[in-house]
Homo-oligomer: A and B are copies of this chain.
Amino acid sequence: MPPDLEAGIAALGLVDHHVHGALRHVVRRPAFEELLTESDRPIPPWTTAFDSQLGFAIRRHCAPLLGLEPSAGADAYWAARAALPPEEAARIFLRAAGTDCWLVETGHHGDRLFGPAAMAALSGGHAAEVVRLEAVLEAVAGAGASAAGLREDFRAALRERARDAVGLKSVVAYRHGFDFDPAPPGAAEVREAAGAWLRTLDRGGAPRVADPVLLRMLLWEGVATGLPLQLHAGYGDPDIELHRCDPLLLTRWLRAVEPTGTDVLLLHCYPFHRNAGYLAQVFPHVHLDVGLAVNHTGARSAAVVAESLELAPFGKILYSSDAFGPPELHYLGALLWRRGMTRVLGAWVADGEWTEADALRVATMIGRSNAARVYHLDE
C-alpha cells in the first residue's frame, strides 16, 4: 500500500453522515446477536449471528479493543464485551472510530439509544441530528390531529423538530417501496388518506404510516424544507420487498424534485449501488453511500466500496456506517471503509492509474468534505 495514502486515510476525521445512536442499556447475548443481522427473527438455535461476515469482522477487529486476540472466539468476545457498562463500551468504540462528526438519525427506537449529545460526548467529537419524517408524522397523528389538519400540523411539527437538524430522512422504502406516484399529492387525496389512517388509530392501531399518499406528502413536505433528504434504499430488514427498493424506481420522482434544489442522499443502496451510481452521475442533486453493506459484508467490503466508485462523480459519494445499537458497528463501519478505500485506491496508485495525492483527495471528499458541503457543517 502507498504509505502516505494509508496514513492519510487512517488519520481522516470522518463525517458519518447517516448513523443511529449506540446502545444505552445493557443487552443480553441474544439481543446483541439480533443486532448483528437485518433479520428481525430470533437467531435459529443451530447457529449464531457471529457466523457471518459481520460476526467475523467483529471478532477480528473489535476483539483487540477489548484486550483480546484478533479473531477471538465468539464466547470469549461476548464474555469480555458483557463485562462493560454501555457507556464504557460506547466510549471505547466510538473514540476508536476516528469519526469527527456523527449525523444521528433519531427516529427509530430512540429510547434505547444514546442521542446526538451523548454520542458527541462519548466519542469526543461532534454530532448533529437527522430527523425521520415518518416519526414526526406519526407523533402528530398520535397527538390527535384531524384529517383536515394533518398536513398543516405535520408541517408545523416538522418545522419545530427540524429547527436544529442538518437533514431529514425517510423510510418510504420500508413502508411502501419506491414504486409510488412521483407527483405531489393533492389536498383532497391527502385528506382522504389521512382520514382513513386516523380512523385506524381511533380503533387502537399503532401510528405507523404506510399509506402511499401520506408518504408522498411527507416526502414533498420534506423536500420543501430545503434540508438534505436521506432515503433508505436497497437492503434492510424483512419488512421491505427489496426489488421495490431499487433506487432506479425513483427516477421520475428525482426528476420532479430536481427543480427544488433539494439534495437527495441514497443510503446503503446494496445490491443496487451501481444503479445509484448512475443516478448520482446524471442528476446533480443525487448522492449515495454504501453504508450498512460495508459492515455486513465484512471481508468482502472492499469489493462493495470498489463498486461504489464507478459511475458516481467523486463529489457525490459519502461515507456512512448506518450503525445502530452495538458501538462495535460505529467503529467497524469506519475501520472497514478505511481498509476498503486504502486497498482499492492503493491498488490504483500502485498500478500507476491514480496519483497518491488524487487518491487522498478523493478519500477526503468521500470521508468528510462532501458531507460537510451537503449538510453545511462548517456553518
Does the CB pair B353–A60 fall under 8 Å? yes
Using CB atoms, name the residue of chain B closest to A69.
B355
Contact of A310 (CB < 8 Å), options: B39, B56, B296: B296
Does the CB pair B353–A313 fall under 8 Å? no
Contact of A300 (CB < 8 Å), options: B242, B270, B299, B310: B310
Contact of A39 (CB < 8 Å), options: B57, B242, B252, B283: B283
Contact with B along A33-61 (1 / 0, CB 8 A): 00001111110101101011100110010
Would you list which residues of chain A between 258 and 278 have a CB under 8 Å from chain B? Answer: 270-271, 274-275, 278
| Distance from A265 Cβ to chain B, minimum over Cβ atoms (Å) | 15
Does the CB pair B309–A300 fall under 8 Å? yes
Using CB atoms, name the residue of chain B closest to A314.
B51
Does the CB pair B282–A38 fall under 8 Å? yes
Would you list which residues of chain A between 101 and 133 have a CB under 8 Å from chain B? Answer: none
Cα of A14 to Cα of B302 in the assembled complex, Å:
30
Contact of A311 (CB < 8 Å), options: B238, B296, B315: B296
Contact partners of A44 in chain B: CB under 8 A: 284, 315
Contact with B along A269-299 (1 / 0, CB 8 A): 0110011001001111000000001001111
Contact partners of A313 in chain B: CB under 8 A: 37, 47, 49, 51-52
Cα of A307 to Cα of B310 in the assembled complex, Å:
14
Cα of A297 to Cα of B71 in the assembled complex, Å:
33
Would you list which residues of chain A between 306 and 340 have a CB under 8 Å from chain B? Answer: 306-307, 309-311, 313-315
Given the interface contacts A41-B283, A51-B315, A70-B352, does A303 sit within 8 Å of B306 by beta carbon?
A: yes
Does the CB pair A271–B282 fall under 8 Å? no
Using CB atoms, name the residue of chain B closest to A40.
B282
Cα of A367 to Cα of B190 in the assembled complex, Å:
54
Question: A164 at interface (Cβ–Cβ under 8 A)?
Answer: no
Does the CB pair A315–B241 fall under 8 Å? no
Question: A235 at interface (Cβ–Cβ under 8 A)?
Answer: yes
| Distance from A37 Cβ to chain B, minimum over Cβ atoms (Å) | 6
| Distance from A42 Cβ to chain B, minimum over Cβ atoms (Å) | 8
Cα of A252 to Cα of B238 in the assembled complex, Å:
10
Given the interface contacts A251-B242, A281-B38, does A311 sit within 8 Å of B235 by beta carbon?
A: yes
Question: A255 at interface (Cβ–Cβ under 8 A)?
Answer: yes
Given the interface contacts A284-B41, A310-B300, does A248 sit within 8 Å of B252 by beta carbon?
A: no
Given the interface contacts A46-B373, A315-B46, does A278 sit within 8 Å of B282 by beta carbon?
A: no
Cα of A373 to Cα of B51 in the assembled complex, Å:
16
Apart from A238-B283, A243-B246, A271-B278, 8 more pairs, CB < 8 Å: A37-B313, A52-B313, A71-B354, A241-B248, A242-B278, A270-B274, A271-B275, A300-B306
